[in-house]
Amino acid sequence: MSHRAVFLDRDGTVNVEVNYLSEPEQLALLPGAAAAIRQMKRLGLKVVVVTNQSAVARGYLSEQKLSHIHKRLREMLAEHDAHLDAIYYCPEMPDSGSPCRKPRIGMMRQAAEDLDIDLKRSYVVGDMASDMEMGRRAGAKTILVLSGYGEETRAQGGQADHVASDLSAAARWIESDLKGE
């Protein structure tokens, strides 16, 4: 049987939102993010980051620099015994029409193929309407976190299956949702 997964947005969900984060030194984990990822892993879920990174197409950072940022993210999480199964990113501009760009589900499809994930039994957690739309399109349950741009997204009518204050609250809701099945 295919695995369940939690697809996490990066900026504003796992780490502090920085407009066009372009240096590993700018990376700061949100409080409780590492513990939440540990909890999700304990539940037997794959944990995958899916992130739009138009900063690459805009020339603000290279894919090599982005790789360094993701390496630093993994190191910071590992310091708290938290581990990601994969990180997928889309370097395209918002108007590119790229299948990987959220709210399209290209990154989720690739992860499903690479990691044997059942998208319809999975979760998407993020702070943007595009995260929620991607989750809906994939048939996953969606959780809007109020960190990052989450408050703005909710104020603009962003729809989600559940609203959580942060990633820790999202992990607790996922655990109770799994128990309720």
Beta strands 86-90 and 123-126: pairing type?
A: unpaired
For residues 22 and 26, give the distance between their C-alpha atoms in angstroms, rounded to a whole number: 7
Q: Could you count the other beta carbons within 10 Å of the beta carbon of residue 69?
A: 23
Chain centroid to CA 90: 12
What pLDDT is stored for residue 109 in this prediction? Answer: 98
The 3-class SS string of 57-100 reads HCCCCCHHHHHHHHHHHHHHHHCCCCCCCEEEEECCCCCCCCCC
Give how many domains the chain has, as a whole number. Answer: 1
Catalytic annotation, pick one of 9, 127, 131, 166: 9
Cα three-residue angle 172-180-124, rounded to 5 degrees:
50
What pLDDT is stored for residue 96 in this prediction? Answer: 95
pLDDT in tens, the chain (181 residues): 799 999 999 999 999 999 889 999 999 999 999 999 999 999 999 999 999 999 999 999 999 999 999 999 999 999 999 999 999 999 999 999 999 999 999 999 999 999 999 999 999 999 999 999 999 999 999 999 999 999 999 999 989 999 999 999 999 999 999 998 7
What pTM was estimated for this model as a whole? 0.97
CATH number for the domain that contains residue 37: 3.40.50.1000
What pLDDT is stored for residue 40 in this prediction? Answer: 98
The number of CA neighbours under 13 Å toward the Cβ of 59 is 0
User: Is 11 part of the annotated catalytic residue set?
Assistant: yes
For residues 73 and 49, give the distance between their C-alpha atoms in angstroms, rounded to a whole number: 11
Structural domain boundaries, residue 131: 5-179
